[in-house]
Amino acid sequence: MKKIIGVIVISFFALGLKAQNDVELKLTLRDGNVVSGTSKMASISLNTAYGKLEIPIKNVTALDLGIASDKTTNEKVANLIKQLSNSNEQMRKTAFDELVKMDIKAVSAISDFIYSAKYEPSTYTDYTADAALNELQSKYNVESAISDKDVVSIDYEYTMGGTYDFAKIDLKTEYGTLSIPKEKIKHIDVMYSGDSGSGDMTFKLLATKHISSNTAGGWLKTGIMLKQGQKFSINATGEVTFASLSGSKYKPDGSISGSTAPINDYEGDYNTGSTYPAYGNVVYKIGETSTQTLKAGAKFNGSATTTGMLFISIYETVYNASNTGSYTVKISLK
């Protein structure tokens, strides 16, 4: 319960609602259902050990919600678990029944108590704390490795853990506005849309990961929702070294660093205006399941051919984790 995945783990809180810009959210609930809609959220306020942070919602990638307990729940759980060692069978059963009737916060409280120095396993095997924990995890569809921390992902690079202090999310959907309690939410994807006006977002494509042929996370999910016909531009700078291509250094336009030779037409000569991507090109696709790998290169201005999420990557037909370097990619919405 104490483990958390991330590069930064600090104590923070507070979800702030600022301007009235709509942001599209996709909520994955603990019961497996997925609900999408919009919320008038422009930024998230984080109170940290180092001060208060205001993070623009367009820089927030996702929110994962852990299960945290409170003092009252902890005290009740500790008292009931101790009663599981009572010599009276009926008292043990009553305590067990009380445990499995508790709300989702008891999952964290029971797990924490079991792994604490205060826990002394009962000599009786009919009603145990582990059995109660298993029943609650099944009841609320909670994984055994669930964290008691909430996690916010920022710009696909940084992860912070702590506790959100909001009780519910108000989501405007096609079926009306829904108020969804926090404890029912497992994960939130933030999908920034340019519908309310122009905007710029900057991303980093890593040669060690964001390669179009990498089937395990090769496409970077920008969080930008495009509508068919919407204009957008992509500008990229930087240099990558492909271990898969004898250590040659490539630039976003597909040119080889230090070489004056033109790129082979078959690979997508950037001087000929070919739409076929060349090695090293920044490429994009619209929609996670799309099989179209579209050339952006170092500079691209165009319109979305369909509606969906924008993904970007570096074009190479062979993925090698020993690649080095990165591209800085700026995406502008018109």
Write the pLDDT tens digit of every residue in 15-25. 333 334 578 88
Which of 181-195, 220-234, 258-272, 280-294 has the lowest average pLDDT? 258-272
Contact 314, 242 (CB under 8 A): no
Residue at 203: amino acid letter: F
The larger pLDDT score, comparing residue 50 to residue 18, is at 50
Phi, psi of 187, rounded to the nearest 5 degrees: -150, 145
- Predicted local confidence at residue 270, as pLDDT: 39
- Predicted local confidence at residue 88, as pLDDT: 96
Retrieve residue 218's tokens.
Answer: 């090769």
3-state DSSP percent of the chain in helix, strand and coil, to 5: 15, 40, 45
Phi, psi of 263, rounded to the nearest 5 degrees: -75, 140
Cα gap 328→158, rounded to integer Å? 16
- Terminal CA-to-CA distance of the chain, rounded, Å? 44
Most confident of 1-5, 38-42, 106-110: 106-110
Cα gap 72→103, rounded to integer Å? 12
If pLDDT is split at 50, 70 and 90, which confidence band does 266 have? very low
